[in-house]
A and B are shown apart, each in its own frame.
Chain A
Amino acid sequence: MKAYQGKPPAVYVLALLAIFTACLTAEAAAQAAPPPRERTLVFVGRSDGSPTLSAPNNANWYGFGADIRNGFQFVYEPLFTLNHLTGEHIPWLAERYKYNDDFTSVQVFIRKGVKWSDGADFDAEDVAFTLNMLMENGRTRRDLAKSVETAALIKLVTVEDKLTLRIDLNAPDPRYIYRQLTNYFGLGLQWVPRHIWKDVADKAGFTFLDIEKGWPVGTGAWKVVKTSPTEMILDRRNDWWGVAAGFRPLPAVERIVAIAAPDDERNAQLIINNQIDQTQTLATPSLVKSILDRNPKLTTFSGRKPPYGYLDYSSHSLYFNHMAEGSPFQDVRVRRAVVHAINRKQLIEFAWDGANTPNYTPLPAFEKLQPYVDGTTDLVKKYGVDVFDLALSAKLMTEAGYKKDSEGLWAKDGKRAGGPLEMQPQYAGVGQVIAQQLKRAGFDARFTSTPDSFRKFRVGQSVWHIFGHNGGGVFDTNDTLRMYTTKNKAPIGTMSFFVSRWSNPEFDTIFEKMERLPIGDPALVPLYKGAMDIWYREAVEVPLEQAYHLQALNETYWTNWPSEQNPYAPACLNCFVSGWGALLAHSLKPVK
């Protein structure tokens, strides 16, 4: 106390500050220098509109709420991936597969020399373990994602040798390879290391994340070095198996950073300032154009011209909820009247600045699907799906017993034809135009886009809504047609992505026949036509336009982004478990 009294307190404060400064400087010197920005790939991970990454602390894709599009997708690799833009089926961890004659069994041949990031061999045992784990869970606890589906599809998995396994199916299934063994969009499985997972009792509660231990263990060329709610950092593994196995050279991307950006505005700010190399999917072409105008180094899949992106599987439709009790759309004439009230040309002009194409089928416009679209052109004409005619629409409404009320809206027994037209915010541009067009035709179309809209129409609480075709076909029509089967028709109150809630026994029968035929079989086209005849006759929904992934790509630090000229992969780093992220990160070339 005496000493303190003898010296001014400022001396002590200065001394403390000096010690603190020394500590900070020493800490800075001790930290290893991160790879430069020129070797770092930064993209916007999945955040579902929130300012934080979705589930960044759960690397177990089969666990509850996990979302491995935030960086973990670079840790795992697929057996096969599919570039749906070209139709190319790309072997990765596997070299090839072989079906038996009746499609009840498939042999998978694993690539030699694949290793997990902890040095253990990746082989047929790991694939078999993953499949058996899911099958067993699907029959008992049912708390792992994909477990029920796997149990329904697979009868038995046999490891024939270290690099070969045979999967026996419960029923002939020529599409099995695309359902579970090929990763594209959100389809396909992730493979877990048997030597670690076999000792885990509660697999659903296992996060598989411990950076100190080197978890998650994957086969990918990058490993997680940091994860937090706002960003995930992955560094290149220079010992990646692909180099020694002669599969691919070491990628130029030394560090990958996934960050959260909740909305289009934040995405725009970040890419204009060169803080990120790729945005998430943006809402409108005009937004992409304004972003491109502000930074000459930015581009898109289609270059600096419309449509500013690439085609997606989820073409947009105006859906009717066929199970909604008392809905005016239970009457096919009313549904037809809606079909004739839609002016797609105007829709595309206003909502898409002309950068889209009208759609008259539930299918996206991929090359492999074109024979099916061409095969049903006469049906489109027969049912007038492409006819915008307000007089015809009014005639159908009159036939259905509707009269215009004092406000010029169609009504029957005091009840108007329409209701809240629900949609997610990303459909707002399209929805506002559609709502106006429907109002002009006399429908009570109330544009509604709230945070609850998505839930409402998925559980069947809406009479009509605008949505895409999640999980729709890209090379085969069956992925789209199954959305309209009795098996997949969810009752009201149960959440579903198949939001028309329509089915027809005749349609089911045709679909079952199609399921037994291999992809590309010539007999599929007439069967598809038969199914669509029913679909158009019933005016199940109103197809509107194609969907595009609108994303800005930054060429300040990286080039060789996929493009119309070089569509080696969809230009999407955060697209599900597809393997596209790895394909891109392996292919990008540094500017400097």
Chain B
Amino acid sequence: MVRIFKRLCLMIVVVWLAATVNFILPHLTERNPIEERLAQAMGEGGGSTAGMEEMVKQYRQKFGVDQPLWRQYLTMLSDSARLDLGVSISHYPDRVASHVLQALPWSIGLLGTATLISFAIGTTLGALTVWLRAGHWLGRVVPLLMILSAIPFYMVGLILIYVFALILQWFPSGGGMGVGFVAGLNWPSAVEIGRHAFLPAMSIVLAATGIWALSMRGMMVTVQGEDYMNFGRARGLKDGRLFWRYAVRNGITPQVTTLVLSLSHVVTGAVLVERVFSYPGVGTLLYNSVLLVDYFMIFGCVLVLIITLGISLMLLDLLYPLLDPRIRTGAGDA
């Protein structure tokens, strides 16, 4: 219980520190998003910016950015504690939380699925290439995946768009759904969303599988030479049991750590992939907010990441002993 309490306190400190940095950084810019938005609107109305200064003053007051930075910081802390992320500058008068909540399912759906698929395929392939020894055809797949993993996600995405959306026209080139499609809880919607998610998901899977495979291969090489493996073989255990229960189970622990960290990043989306595919996730929202210097939206998106990351790390800390009994007993320290 004391251990859980300690971890909880640590998590709160981590979240607070990260939130502080997240608050300060966007405020370092010289840009004044309120003036920019007003000037844009007024400029488009014929270029005259008559009365703009007064309007800027009014809206600075409304957004609370006329206050000294320390006061804004305290307001942010108290609002964040109540999970109130404030009002968006770029989507005024919408609440930041409503936009984050709207974008979250897209990012979680896309990145969560893609991460789990690439983890499952990569880990299995990495383990099998060592298990099946040299000469097996699988040994040639992993180097190919390694080449793909050296190419950034968004670059793979561009290639996929060119081949499968523009040349073959099998999949849409972007967006979360087709133009004008009104989604509901039905099969056409599921198919539509799936079709649109396929290429972005593939770009992540193709680029990430090799990395999972490589790290698992390394672990499997280490595990293969362990005494308990030789003992298992000597006892005549079946290959399948040896592979899954002895080799993979012992080799997978560091993979799980990385998986949990990767999944916690899912909430902010893959900014560049979402940008390339015009995918309506949190990555797109964050990109957009940085572009328009929407302090509150940037803060909201990053705060969600910070909290998710903090909770994930805490859960990982608590769950680790279940995966590896040596951690629970402290045997590993010996």
Contacts and interface: CB of A to CB of B under 8 A. Distances in A.
The reply to whether chain A is a binding partner of chain B is yes
Interface of A: 21, 23-25, 27-28, 31, 34, 40, 42, 48-52, 54-58, 63-67, 138, 141-143, 145-149, 152, 179, 185-187, 204-205, 207, 226, 228-231, 233, 255, 257, 259-262, 266, 269-270, 272-273, 275-276, 451-452, 455, 458, 470-471, 479, 483, 488, 490, 494-498, 576-577
Contacts of A67: 41
A65 B165 contact: no
A497 B50 CA distance: 11
Contacts of B102: 228-229
B47 A470 contact: yes
A67 B99 CA distance: 18
A55 B92 contact: yes
A187 B45 contact: yes
Contact of A230 (B175, B186, B287): B175
Interface of B: 30-31, 34-55, 58-59, 62, 89-94, 99, 102-103, 161, 165-166, 169, 172-176, 178-180, 182, 184-190, 274-275, 278-280, 284-285, 287-288, 291-292
B45 A146 contact: yes
A455 B46 contact: no
A495 B35 contact: yes
A27 B34 CA distance: 43
Contacts of A497: 39, 43, 47, 49
Residue of B36, B43, B48, B182 with most chain A CB atoms under a 10 A cut-off: B48
Given A255-B180, A471-B47, A51 B288 contact: yes
Contacts, number: 192
B41 to A, nearest CB: 6
A142 B57 CA distance: 10
A260 B278 contact: yes
Contacts of A455: 31, 36
Contact of B55 (A143, A187, A270, A490): A143
Nearest to B292: A50
Complex A-B, nearest 10 residue pairs according to Cβ-Cβ distance, in ascending order: A148-B51, A471-B47, A28-B186, A186-B44, A497-B43, A27-B186, A50-B288, A497-B47, A495-B39, A471-B46
B45 A186 contact: yes
B51 A495 contact: no
A280 B178 CA distance: 19
20 contacts: A21-B187, A31-B182, A48-B40, A50-B291, A51-B280, A52-B284, A58-B93, A142-B51, A142-B58, A148-B55, A186-B44, A226-B182, A233-B182, A470-B43, A471-B47, A494-B49, A494-B53, A497-B39, A497-B43, A497-B49
Contacts of B42: 145
Residue of B37, B45, B169, B174 with most chain A CB atoms under a 10 A cut-off: B45
Given A471-B47, A576-B45, 19 more contacts: A24-B190, A27-B184, A28-B189, A51-B288, A52-B280, A52-B285, A57-B91, A58-B92, A63-B93, A142-B55, A143-B59, A149-B51, A228-B102, A231-B180, A259-B179, A470-B43, A494-B49, A494-B53, A576-B44
Given A24-B187, A145-B42, A50 B48 contact: no
Given A34-B180, A269-B161, A490-B49, A49 B39 contact: no
Contacts of A143: 55, 58-59, 62
B145 to A, nearest CB: 28
Contact of A42 (B45, B55, B180): B180
B51 A51 contact: no
B258 to A, nearest CB: 29
Contact of B174 (A64, A266, A272): A266
A147 B30 CA distance: 28
Contact of B49 (A65, A187, A496): A496
Contact of B36 (A42, A276, A495, A498): A495
A152 B50 contact: yes
Residue of B161, B188, B278 with most chain A CB atoms under a 10 A cut-off: B278
Contacts of B182: 31, 34, 226, 233
A494 B90 CA distance: 20
B327 to A, nearest CB: 32
Contacts of A483: 47
B36 A25 contact: no
B160 to A, nearest CB: 12
Nearest to A262: B278
Contacts of A230: 175-176, 278, 280
Nearest to A69: B44
Given A63-B92, A65-B89, A451-B291, A261 B278 contact: yes
A25 B186 contact: yes
Contacts of A185: 44, 46
Contact of A186 (B46, B91, B161): B46
Contacts of A146: 45
Nearest to B31: A455
A205 B288 CA distance: 22
Contacts of B45: 145-146, 186-187, 471, 576-577
A51 B278 contact: yes
A483 B37 CA distance: 20
Nearest to A46: B44
Nearest to B185: A27
A585 to B, nearest CB: 15
Nearest to A483: B47
A468 B2 CA distance: 66
Contacts of A269: 161, 165-166, 173-174
B199 to A, nearest CB: 12
B93 A257 contact: no
Residue of B90, B99, B179 with most chain A CB atoms under a 10 A cut-off: B179
Given A65-B92, A207-B93, A273 B173 contact: yes
B115 to A, nearest CB: 22
Contacts of B169: 273
B187 A187 contact: no
Residue of A48, A52, A63 with most chain B CB atoms under a 10 A cut-off: A52
Given A148-B50, A273-B166, A273-B173, A28 B291 contact: no
A149 B50 CA distance: 6
Nearest to B36: A455
Contacts of B278: 51, 230, 260-262, 266
A526 B245 CA distance: 94
B1 to A, nearest CB: 31
B318 to A, nearest CB: 28
Contacts of B39: 458, 495-497
Contacts of A54: 90
Contacts of A229: 91, 99, 102-103, 280, 285
Contacts of B90: 54-55, 65
B52 A495 contact: yes
Contacts of B44: 185-186, 470, 576
A459 to B, nearest CB: 8
B288 A52 contact: yes
Contacts of B176: 230
A273 B34 CA distance: 38
A231 B178 CA distance: 10
Contact of B292 (A34, A48, A66, A488): A48
